[in-house]
Structures are given as C-alpha cells and as structure tokens.
Amino acid sequence: MIPAARTAPARTVPVRTVPVRTAPTRPAPAPGGLRTGTGRAPCHHGELLQGVFLDGAGRRCAGLVTLPMPGPAGRARFRPRPGTAPDDLTVVPEGRTKAARAAVLAVAECARRSGRAACGGELRLTGGVPVGLGMGSSTSDVIAAVRAVADGYGLRLPPDAVARLAVRAELASDPLMLDGRPVLFAQREGRVLEVLGPALPPLVVVGCALGGGSPVDTLSLPARPPAEAGADEVRAFERLRALLRRAVATGDVRLLGEVATASARIGQRVLAHPEFDDLTDVARRVGAAGVQIAHSGSVAGLLFDPAAPGLRHRVRSCVRALDAHGIPATRTFTTTEEIPHGPAHRGGGRPAGPGTARRPARLPAL
C-alpha cells in the first residue's frame, strides 16, 4: 500500500489594497445642462481718487480709482432649479437684493449666450466684508453672483459684460471685475475711462475706521449729476488725475499720497468726518505719504512707502497715535499681494509696476 502523498498547506498571500485617487468631480449637471456654479470677487479699501472727469469725447462723468485690498472676498454659489421662472430666486442670507437682481440679470444674459433655458434657483453668499463701510461689499456680492451664474451655465463672461450687469443691478459699481490694474472707472456707466498704468506703486496701508466704524447709508448722501460740476471743479479733478497717472508711471508713493489726501479733503464737503484733521495730523507726524478715505463709507487708510526707512517704527507709531485720538486701527496690509480670482475666473498674473523690486519690510501683526 502506497501512502498518499502529503500536500503542503496553501500559503495565503496578503493582498495590498492600493487606494485609487480620483479627481474631485463637479456635481452632476441638472436637466438642461446646468450645474451648480461658484463665483468669487475681491473687495477694496475705499478710493484713492473720486470726482468728476472728462471722457474721451469731452463729456463729464463721475469716476473713481479704488485701492485694492488682498484678502477678503465675496463668494457665491448658484444652484439652478430648471423649470422654474427666472425670477424665482432664493437668496441666502436674505436681504441681499442687489446680488439677487444681478443673478436674475445674469441668468437672462447667460441663457441668451448659451442657448439654454433661463431658470431660477438658490443663490448663497458668503465671505466678503461688512456692509456700509465703503469697501465694495455690495459690488463684491454682485460680481460673485454673476460669476456663479455664468459658471453654472458653463460660461465665463468678459469683464465689460460683468460691469454692465453690475451697474444695472446696483446703479453704481466698483471696478472689482477687472484685472487689478489701476483704472479710472465710471462707476455709474460701468466703463473704464483710463488705464493709469500696469500697477500701483507698492504701498503699506494702515487701515482704520472713522465714526466708530458705523455703516454709512450711501443712498442718503447728497448726489449731484456730473453735468452740474463747475469748470473749475472739473479742472481740479483732471489735474489730480494727471498727477496720479504720473505717480503710477514713476512709482512715486509720495505723489500718490498727495493725490489721495487732496481727494479725501474734497470728499469732506459731503462726508464731513469729524476725525479728518486728526487723521491728516497723524499722517504728517509719522511720515505717511498721505491718507485715503472711502467716498461712501467709514473706512480710511494711511499710506506708507514700503521702502521708507524705519517703516516698522512708523507703523507702530501710527497705530498708537490713532488710538490716542480714538480712531480704531483695523488692519495693516500691502498692496503688492496677489488678489486671486478663483479657479473659474483666474486671469493672468498681475503685471509688475514701477518699483516692485523693492521688498516691503516685514510688518507686525496688527
């Protein structure tokens, strides 16, 4: 009898499970080819120059130059509801009527451009800055809403189209839909009067809040049609425009500060901030290049040349002096930081301006 062959027990080979990495997917398209869209738009820190200017045809029109501020941005998410009426729009948080109006206008524009049906949906707004401070909160909401709707329709609207929709939605718009270059912008018409140069000179801004930071009701401010501006007044603003153009071309922070201070002083005729003299006195004592004040809010800033000697000491002295006058400092920032547009609206890199090779001093966290 031949004994049965002995078989070795089977070896168990451990199997390594390798996780498969997949790219994040966008939400599935809704009927009609629409998706949930997102949009983003920056805010700003008030104006460097604001007044009445002449356009290329010699016509008087209101115009402004804003001070860019890296960081805070308004964000919007548009979730379409195909089959609903275009004006059937839910807005979160409630009360953002300008952004809601912009979304409805954007739906009509995007439906016309894409050939898809217009519909309502939900618009959800987050981020940004508090309203009423003159930092472009409403325009940021409006532009983010327009971009979110366009993204939902698979489109990217050109800046001039966004500007037209923004003006229709809120009557006057800041140039936050543009690429960051300093422009003289006709805020009631949504068009660029002049590109002043590739970029502002680098600035360090010590922000502060006037009037205790209370919001300003822009609609309550007295408004005068540009056509009623006197010839001397227009000549004064055109002179400031020419000086600002030179400051941008030469990288002259001191000249830019003089223009901003002169514009703020003219704005005092309407805004009448009681702290204005204290603000300009602090700027003089700490060696700031000048001051800038939002034309429709309470935010203000003291402007410094980042290449100035003893910058850290100047900034700290500035904050202490503001505090001594009861003017709360808010944030210190530099204008040379990049302002991102978001993945759906990323433009080219911001062009370098005069003097951008100078590295700003590292600032204390304030």
Over residues 45-90, the pLDDT tens digits come to 999 999 999 999 999 999 999 999 988 899 999 999 999 999 999 9
List, for residues 176-186, the tens digit of each pLDDT value. 999 788 999 99
- CATH placement of domain 37-344: 3.30.230.10
Q: What percent of the chain has pLDDT over 90?
A: 71
How does the average pLDDT of the chain come out, rounded? 85
- Residue 48: its H or E element: strand 37-54
Kindly indicate the confidence band of residue 12, based on its pLDDT and cuts at 50, 70 and 90: very low
The answer, yes or no, to whether residue 30 has pLDDT greater than 90, is no
* Confidence band for 311, pLDDT divided at 50, 70 and 90: very high
Looking at the whole model, is its pTM more than 0.85? no
Measured CA distances, 256 to 163, 268, 303 (Å): 26, 19, 9
What pLDDT shows up at residue 180? 81
What pLDDT, on the 0 to 100 scale, is given for residue 6?
Answer: 45
Categorize the per-residue pLDDT at 219 as very low, low, confident or very high, splitting at 50, 70 and 90.
Answer: low
Q: Using a pLDDT cut of 70, give the percent of the chain over it.
A: 80
Between residues 99 and 181, which one has the greater pLDDT? 99
Describe the chain by its helix, strand, coil percentages, rounded to 5.
Answer: 35, 25, 45
CA atoms within 13 A on the CB side of 25: 5
pLDDT (0 to 100) of residue 18 = 37
Q: What is the pLDDT of residues 107-123, one digit of tens each?
A: 999 999 999 999 999 99
**21 has a pLDDT exceeding 90:** no
CB neighbour burial string for 303-342, b if at least 16 within 10 angstroms, e if fewer: bbbbbeeebeebbbebbebbeeeebebbbbbbbbeebebb
Domain boundaries, the chain: 37-344
Question: Mean pLDDT, to the nearest integer, of 194-204?
Answer: 95
